[in-house]
Amino acid sequence: MNDAPHILIVDDHREIRDLVARALSKEGFRASEAADGHAMRKVLAETRIDLVLLDLMLPGEDGLSLCRALRAQSDIPIIMLTAKGDEIDRVIGLEVGADDYVPKPFGSRELIARIRAVLRRNVKRDRLVGDKRRTYVFDRWTFDVDRRELISADGVATPLSTGEFDLL
């Protein structure tokens, strides 16, 4: 089992995806790639991802919409990558849920440093929250009271409806 952080690169330019994937690999990260929102959702449904690098300008659904939708479902860290480097663009990206914002062109060393910083903050947050989280384990299931989720033995979290939550 590989414990290296797994990064999903979502960008419609293959050259950028390949360049970033190579840089990540050299630094010990695992990388998956997606060219659009549909492919991103497929990877996220099939693979445990630790951080998403998300381009703002994508065909079909744009990066802001994808960021907003992803943030509504998950706490996965998101770093926006975009050629739009104006302050207003950065602010909007952060307001819809991005954890960081890197304007293109960017250097691979800076990108790797930002990825490490976001992952480090996320691990610390998880530790703090995890220490206070109320969970109950029964059979091969974990009931997370604070997140209102039932987690299977293989780590799949299922959100509970109000009725299901009240029953448990």
pLDDT tens for 35-91 read: 999 999 999 988 889 999 999 999 999 999 999 999 988 889 999 998 876 888 888
pLDDT of residue 23: 97
pLDDT of residue 36: 97
**Average pLDDT rounded to a whole number, residues 11-30:** 96
Q: Which residue has the higher pLDDT, 74 or 33?
A: 33
The percent helix, strand, coil of the chain (3-state, each to 5) is 45, 25, 35
End-to-end, the C-alpha distance of the chain in Å comes to: 33
β-strands 135-138, 141-144 pairing: antiparallel
Q: Is the peptide bond before 105 cis (omega within 30 degrees of 0)?
A: yes
The structure's pTM equals 0.74
pLDDT of residue 155: 72
**In this prediction, what percent of the chain has a pLDDT beyond 70?**
88
- pLDDT confidence of 117, banded at 50, 70, 90? very high
pLDDT of residue 2: 63
What the chain holds in terms of domains, given with CATH numbers, is 6-130 (3.40.50.2300), 134-167 (no CATH)
**Which three-class secondary structure state does DSSP give residue 31?**
strand
